[in-house]
Amino acid sequence: MASFIYARNVVSGVGGLFGRNQHQATQKQNSILMVNKQKLYQSDFMKVALQEASSAYNRGEVPVGAVIVDSATGDVVAKSGNRIEETKDPTAHAEILVIRQVACSFGQVRLPNCDLYVTLEPCPMCATAISLARLRRVYFGASDPKGGGVENGPRIFAQPTCHHRPEVYGGINATNSAALLKSFFALRR
């Protein structure tokens, strides 16, 4: 944060910019710094999702973790890992669990000011739930060529019957997400 304030002071005149170009330079510098700040938060939120995936791994679940963040405040409002085996519920995917938690705590079925961070590309079921919940953005780690439903498989958000298409960003911390999954399945085979 200190670097953000310092950079803002430099651009606003302390560093020698004056006149009409000062405002343009300030806007440009602020947008660059906010982009950098956003990247930092993306990485932090994905780390929380990876911790949830690791917990799922330790419980004997497929290691997928998910986090929902309130985009207005930047607060984590729900986090979970897969709990399919534990609950004997085939729909207890990490994404579904966090969507349920937030919908219940907010008292709403639509969550347009929320972003989802998940360690694996959502499956078709989860992608449909994401669309129905109207999540603003989806950030995922590893791609899932066999079971994915966003960039692979049926590509739910590209279907004409899909009523809401969130912004999707893949490949965030993909190496760590994929390594955890490979380790889990290597032990099972």
Q: Kindly name the residue from 61, 85, 86, 95 that is annotated as catalytic.
A: 95
Q: For residue 151, indicate whether it is catalytic.
A: no
Rounded CA-CA distance 152/29 in Å is 37
Residue 55 amino acid letter? S
- DSSP structure string for 77-124: EEEEE--HHHHT-TT--HHHHHHHHHHHHHT-S--TTEEEEEEEPPPH
Query: In which order are the strands placed within the sheet that holds 137-142?
Result: 75-81, 65-70, 114-120, 137-142, 167-169
Residue 156 amino acid letter? I
| Catalytic residue annotation | 95
